[in-house]
Amino acid sequence: MSIEPNSNHIDKEKITKKEENEEIKDIPGYEDTEENNAINETNDKISTSGNNNSKEQFRARMIKLFIIVIAIFLIIMLIGYIISGFSNKAYSYSDVEEQLVESAKSYFSDNKNKLPSKNKSVYISSDTLANSKYIKPLDKYLKNKSCTGKVVVKNISNSYDYTAYLDCGDSYKTRELYKELLKKDNIVTDGYGLYHLNNEYVYRGLYVNNYVVFKDKEEILWRIVKILNNNEVVLIKDSSTNDEYIWDERYNSSTEYENGINVYKNSSISTHLDKLYASKYGDKESEDYSDYGNEEVFLTKNIKNKLVKFNACVGTRSENDTSKDGSVECSVKYETKMSLLSIYEYLNASIDPGCTTTVSPECQNYNYLADNNDNFWFANGMAENSSKVYYLSSGSVIDLEAANDSHIKPVIHLSNNTMIESGKGTKSKPYIIR
């Protein structure tokens, strides 16, 4: 039998406890335990949150400091790598030659009284440059190499040409262009190639490895015509000029007409060549640009420093003349730094035995100078007619009134101390002149 609790008794106990609690609250210094606990919990949360925030801030500062330290370390490593790279740079022979030239220029800039007089030359050794602190000793550039060097300075009409010579024994030696060309294996007596002819070395035939470019104008091809007995190298531009030029338009008293005179001196063509050499044509700043604005500038200051004046053979020649030694054309000479090809030079480039006279059509056979798609002026006039000049048309030499216009293939002479950097003379791998 179950006994039910007395509800009245329970309620009375609750009321009694409640009254006791109320009385306890009235005691001074008493704090409600639940409220106190709540406050303490809140304070604990605030304290914990503050501690957590402080820890997060500390952690963030440490991460930031770590990143800064790493960044500084990487920068120091990078600087060290760069410095190490410069100090341990692998220099090529051509690099060292350029260093020699630049140091010599600095030396003579500070010692102008030691520069050569007009048309003279002097040299300075690499040891002198190193002792004067203009360059480091060569063994600092070329590790494990025993090298000597010098720079030759030549005064060419008060313009100075600096040429470096480096000798590292069997490893490397600076090469002069004419010496490279005149190697024994290059000389031939038949077929296409370089012939010993008229006390000169002349390229003959259709396919000959005589292509040349200048390092600072590698887009422009030249051809080697010959090497003179003073070791100057004669070049002709592979492509003709963009613009056409009148050979001459002076009044001719023999014809009583302004159809030109075939005397090279004071001719229009000589003036045009002077302006081409001076880069007046093709230069937008030049007053001649409006007339010859299509022309390209193909000679830089560096290239001009390698060129020498020469006596162009500009005498007139008969159509039936059979000479090929230059005696006729060279009976009249004109001193210049840029000229045109002479007739005998064109004839000698052919190995066809039928090429016998000035206008023999066979001269275009087996001849690298015969371009069937081009036409250009020669330096020589026709002996039989004072108003006519020879020019090349579709590979054949014909005469034309001087007052007409045609293209130009400039001819220049390289000094005998012109250096070669590389190349084999082919069209794809021409000799590179530095």
Does the structure show a pLDDT above 80 at 22? no
Report the share of the chain in percent with pLDDT over 90. Answer: 64
Is 131 among the domain residues?
yes
Is 197 among the domain residues?
yes
Residues 427 and 321 in one domain: yes
Give the count of beta carbons closer than 10 Å to the beta carbon of residue 37.
11
Residues 98 and 236 in one domain: no
Does the structure show a pLDDT above 90 at 203? yes
Distance CA 357, CA 347 (A): 8
User: Looking at 119, 150, 173, which one is the last position of a domain?
Assistant: 173
Residues 245 and 348 in one domain: yes
Is 393 among the domain residues?
yes
Q: What is the pLDDT of residue 76?
A: 86
- Over residues 178-189, the pLDDT tens digits come to 999 999 999 999
Q: Is 287 left (phi over 0), alpha (psi -120 to 50) or beta?
A: alpha
At 363, list the tokens. Answer: 């001269």
Residues 201 and 296 in one domain: yes
Does the structure show a pLDDT above 80 at 18? no
- Over residues 279-328, the pLDDT tens digits come to 888 666 666 555 676 788 899 988 998 999 999 999 999 999 999 999 99
User: Into how many domains does the chain fold?
Assistant: 2
Is 78 among the domain residues?
no
Distance set, CA 310 to CA 140, 231, 233, 381 (Å): 42, 13, 11, 20
Residues 270 and 364 in one domain: yes
Distance CA 204, CA 369 (A): 9
User: Looking at 151, 173, 195, which one is the last position of a domain?
Assistant: 173
Distance CA 317, CA 331 (A): 10
Does the structure show a pLDDT above 60 at 133? yes
Q: What is the pLDDT of residue 286?
A: 61
More confident residue, 90 or 286: 90
Q: Is 169 left (phi over 0), alpha (psi -120 to 50) or beta?
A: left
Residues 253 and 358 in one domain: yes
* Spatial CB neighbours of 405, under 8 Å, sequence gap ≥ 6: 244, 245, 246, 247
Residues 258 and 377 in one domain: yes
Question: 189: helix, coil or strand?
Answer: coil
Does the structure show a pLDDT above 50 at 215? yes
Is 25 among the domain residues?
no
Distance CA 310, CA 232 (A): 10
Is 71 among the domain residues?
no
Is 122 among the domain residues?
yes
Does the structure show a pLDDT above 60 at 117? yes
Residues 169 and 215 in one domain: no
Give residue 145's pLDDT band: very low, low, confident or very high (50, 70, 90).
confident
Residues 209 and 294 in one domain: yes
- Over residues 384-399, the pLDDT tens digits come to 999 999 999 999 999 9
Is 139 among the domain residues?
yes
Distance CA 277, CA 306 (A): 13
Question: Is the CB of residue 422 less than 8 Å from the CB of residue 428?
Answer: no
Does the structure show a pLDDT above 60 at 262? yes
Q: Stretch 257-271: mean pLDDT, rounded?
A: 96
Q: Is 124 left (phi over 0), alpha (psi -120 to 50) or beta?
A: beta
| Domain span at 247 | 184-433
Does the structure show a pLDDT above 70 at 129? yes
Distance CA 56, CA 268 (A): 89
At 331, list the tokens. Answer: 């009976």
Residues 168 and 228 in one domain: no
Residue with tokens 């009249």: 332
Residue with tokens 């919990």: 41
Residues 165 and 193 in one domain: no
Residues 147 and 270 in one domain: no
Q: Which helix (H) or strand (E) holds 9?
A: helix 7-25
The predicted model scores a pTM of 0.75
User: Looking at 148, 173, 198, which one is the last position of a domain?
Assistant: 173
Distance CA 332, CA 265 (A): 10
* Spatial CB neighbours of 249, under 8 Å, sequence gap ≥ 6: 258, 259, 260, 268, 402, 403
**Where are the alpha helices (H) located in 88-137, listed in sequence order?**
93-110, 126-131
